[in-house]
Structure 1
Amino acid sequence: MEKSTQPEAVSSVLKVFNILQALSEQKEIGVSELSQRLMMSKATTYRFLQTMKMLGYISQEGETDKYALTLKLFELGAKALEYVDLIDIADKEMREISNLTNETVHLGALDESAIIYLHKIDSSYNLRMHSRVGRRNPLYSTAIGKVLLSGKTHAEAMETLQPVEFIQHTDKTHRNAQQLMAEVHTVACQHYGEDNEEQEPGLRCIAAPIYDRFGHIIASVSVSFPTIRFDIERKPAYVKMLQDAGRNISEKLGYHDYPVPSESQS
């Protein structure tokens, strides 16, 4: 028999998905039956099942050897669908901000202990922020990151920041979590965040929160300016523009209690 050249890691991933597939086709299944169906040894099957159980993707029926899927995969799928809807909904609002400012507009969300850009509208100027969809940036030096942290309790935020190394991108970058959290508290009160040349010299960003239907901050929309084009007197207008966009997106996601009143309500 020819020895497989497939890397062991890839083989393990295939085993995991084969188990998930089998469990999706039957409400509950025992180790012996599963190992026979997948042509895996009983010991290997049991080891995989126990690991997946520990991670919360499957459950064991009492003291029996029967296993079943949990709702964790459904939750993951629901989050993915939420982001697809979010990008479609946010696009219109982001383009409006882009048209009004001619600057780079981003949509970002939390990805473990960093932010990830989900969508981007480029600036019409040659001098612009260099970024791309799918790129990760730190929480501690970005306006989006501070907004995302502001939706967490202090304990949750500190846990998120626990593995983060605070790299000094500029002399204005926060040096530690305690220093950052002092600003995050302000962000939570004012409902917008700023990056004042903390990620990149000569670049300023402002961001506002986006809420899901349960009132949780799930994303943030931002606009980025080279400092030479940032008009400090227009900052209140920029903030309102972003908060209006955040409110409109949040309402389309099912949340109608955006913390900052619209002009018509104030």
Structure 2
Amino acid sequence: MQHKNKTVMKMMEVLNLFLTHEELNLNEMVQLSGLPKTSVFRMAGTLEDMGFLKKDENGKYSLGLLFLQFGQLVSSRLGIRNIAYPYMEALRNEIDEAVNLVIRDGDEAIYIEKLDTNQPVRVYTQTGRRAPLYAGACPRIILAYASDQEILEYMNNTELRRYASGTITDKEQLMEVLRKSKKEGYSISHSELFDNTTAVAAPIFDANGAIAAGLSIVGPDVRIQSEHLPGIIAKVKRTASQISEELGWKNTIG
């Protein structure tokens, strides 16, 4: 508790007023918060500049559109998680390896859901973990379905660092892998984020046909060997398609 920033906490007090009030002027904010008028005036101006509050011509403040943007983002992410979860559970039970759900967050991928295998030897990942878009099957399948311009900008602005023995650090090789992944509808990685691991990922699309997330199976390479890959690829692609259809995507292929 002692490490909390007092200014931020006071700003939260001001924002919390709008949970029960649609509009407030400065005097009302001062009266309801009990904070000094100069402090409220300064914080309201800062929150307005940041987009958290907006002020009309009558001097009344209300919540800014930034909250709507955040709310829509959280809603969409939670929506994917809620829709995907039963399919992920079925896939995990069918293959008995860990299943990950990953979305893009800027130039990174973030794991928003994970179901562990029931087997004693596991690949360590956790919800909230981040990874570069170029490394690992699941982050890379998202990058593979970005626009050509986005991929070019990403390549120009990203240093390909090595995370494990199989991390792709050559940009020409990465471009070839991205093209192949998009053409075939799945991606495979071997020891790219963690040594001695194999992952298979497929894309999840939204109702507009845009890439929404990546779905992957990951496990120790001693359990996911070459003879197992065709069956795993088919099951991961099938599950990703089922989730996509729940999101409103229409499969027009074939």
- TM-score, normalised to structure 2, is 0.80
| Shift in Å, 1:142 | 1.6
Counterparts of 1:49 and 1:177, CA distance in 2: 47
| Shift in Å, 1:221 | 1.1
1:218 corresponds to which residue?
212
| Shift in Å, 1:205 | 0.7
2:124 is matched with which residue: 125, 130, 137?
130
Runs of at least 5 residues in structure 1 that lack an aligned partner in the other structure: none
Letter in 2 for 1:137: A
| Shift in Å, 1:71 | 3.3
- Three-state SS of the structure 2 residue aligned to 1:28 is coil
- Please say if residues 208 and 249 of structure 2, whose CA atoms lie closer than 8 Å, have aligned partners that are also in contact: no
- Three-state SS of the structure 2 residue aligned to 1:245 is helix
2:52 corresponds to which residue?
57
- Please say if residues 205 and 249 of structure 2, whose CA atoms lie closer than 8 Å, have aligned partners that are also in contact: no
- Three-state SS of the structure 2 residue aligned to 1:228 is coil
1:250 is matched with which residue: 244, 247, 253?
244
Counterparts of 2:144 and 2:213, CA distance in 1: 11
1:18 aligns with 2:19: no
163-172 or 64-73, which deviates more: 163-172
1:145 aligns with 2:139: yes
Letter in 2 for 1:22: L
- Please say if residues 107 and 219 of structure 1, whose CA atoms lie closer than 8 Å, have aligned partners that are also in contact: yes
Letter in 1 for 2:17: A
| Shift in Å, 1:131 | 2.2
Identical-pair percentage: 25
1:101 is matched with which residue: 95, 98, 105?
95
74-83 or 191-200, which deviates more: 74-83
- TM-score, normalised to structure 1, is 0.77
**Structure 2 CA distance for partners of 1:172 and 1:21, relative to 1, 3 Å:** same
Letter in 2 for 1:220: G
Counterparts of 1:152 and 1:59, CA distance in 2: 34
1:207 corresponds to which residue?
201
1:87 corresponds to which residue?
81
- Three-state SS of the structure 2 residue aligned to 1:229 is coil
| Shift in Å, 1:69 | 1.4
2:113 corresponds to which residue?
119
84-93 or 155-164, which deviates more: 155-164
| Shift in Å, 1:207 | 0.9
**Structure 2 CA distance for partners of 1:94 and 1:7, relative to 1, 3 Å:** closer
Counterparts of 1:151 and 1:71, CA distance in 2: 29
- Please say if residues 113 and 161 of structure 1, whose CA atoms lie closer than 8 Å, have aligned partners that are also in contact: no
Counterparts of 1:97 and 1:133, CA distance in 2: 18
1:44 corresponds to which residue?
39
Counterparts of 1:144 and 1:51, CA distance in 2: 39
Runs of at least 5 residues in structure 2 that lack an aligned partner in the other structure: none
- Three-state SS of the structure 2 residue aligned to 1:15 is helix
1:29 is matched with which residue: 24, 30, 39?
24
- Please say if residues 139 and 145 of structure 1, whose CA atoms lie closer than 8 Å, have aligned partners that are also in contact: yes
Counterparts of 1:159 and 1:26, CA distance in 2: 44
